[in-house]
Amino acid sequence: MNAALRLPATGGFTAPTVDEMHLPPFFELGTFEFGKQMLLILLSVVLIAGFFMWAIRRRALVPSKAQYLGESGYGFVRNHLGRDIIGEKEFRPYVPLLFTFFFFILVNNLFGSVPFVQLPTLSHAGSAYVLAGIAYVTWVFMGIKRHGLGGFMGKMTMPPDVPKALYVFLIPIEFLSNLIIRPVTHALRVFATMFAGHLALMVAASMTAYLVTQGGLLSIVSVGSTVLGIFIYFLEILIQVLQAYIFTLLFAVYVQGALQEGH
């Protein structure tokens, strides 16, 4: 290998670590820490509420561009994630929560692609688990309310058209899968993708910066890492949107399953 393409024996490239992904908190009050992640969560609430309140401020019969955009976003969640999944008769009470989940996750994910902000807040596991916990409590509560505790547990643990002798094995497996693993994977899916995507962008950016500073042929090689970084950036935007959709879609599917009549 050409000597100009080798990394130096000392002072070579050092990839970003997990600790570098999140800045230290701005201030602490006992065990409470307020940092960039929490600031962005609060900012997302202001941005979402502000946009939709501004978009519908006139409620004209012929909508403005802002009103059209706001109504289109609401209609997408209402119709495609509510009515089409949960059902025409059941979906309306869940539209506010579906709407909140989708746009809250969407904006907080997209923060990771905004220059100078560059932090998807759901790359913190705690935020993802809180959202999954809200979803979990909601569909379990509604399932118990609709079918009673015994009926709901039967739906979750006793698949239909299965020989009763197999329930000895299936009930614990279904209980673990539907009531324990499901909420965990619901959170991990969005957390893991945001965490991995953010770290991949950091590695690509730091690699490019390192290669440029080395000069010579390595600065030419940096063109390749720059292209890779741009590709990862746009791929991450796609994933950020998809994860907001998938999280909300799964919540709608869980609600529909909890509400449907017994087998």
Supply the pTM of this predicted model: 0.88
Phi and psi at residue 163, to the nearest 5°: -55, 135
- The answer to whether 15 and 206 are in contact (CB under 8 A) is yes
Could you tell me if residue 224 is inside a domain? yes
Q: What is the mean pLDDT of the chain?
A: 87
Single-letter amino acid code for the residue at 229: G
- The answer to whether 138 and 113 are in contact (CB under 8 A) is no
Alpha carbon distance 158, 175 (integer Å): 9
- The answer to whether 248 and 135 are in contact (CB under 8 A) is no
List of long-range contacts for 222-229, beta carbons under 8 Å, 24+ apart: 228/204, 229/201, 229/204, 229/205
Could you tell me if residue 21 is inside a domain? no
For 51-60, the pLDDT digits (tens) are 999 988 877 7
For 14-23, the pLDDT digits (tens) are 777 777 777 7
Alpha carbon distance 252, 249 (integer Å): 5
Per-residue pLDDT band for 262 (boundaries 50, 70, 90) equals: low
Alpha carbon distance 187, 185 (integer Å): 5
Q: How many domains does the chain have?
A: 1
The whole-number average pLDDT for the span 21-42 is 85
Could you tell me if residue 229 is inside a domain? yes
Q: What is the pLDDT of residue 11?
A: 58
**For residue 121, what are the domain limits?**
48-54+63-261
Could you tell me if residue 30 is inside a domain? no
Compute how many other C-beta atoms are within 10 angstroms of the C-beta atom of residue 191.
22
Q: What is the pLDDT of residue 1?
A: 38
For 58-115, the pLDDT digits (tens) are 777 777 888 899 999 999 999 999 999 999 999 999 999 999 999 999 999 999 999 8
- The answer to whether 153 and 145 are in contact (CB under 8 A) is no
Could you tell me if residue 35 is inside a domain? no
Retrieve residue 174's tokens. 């279904």
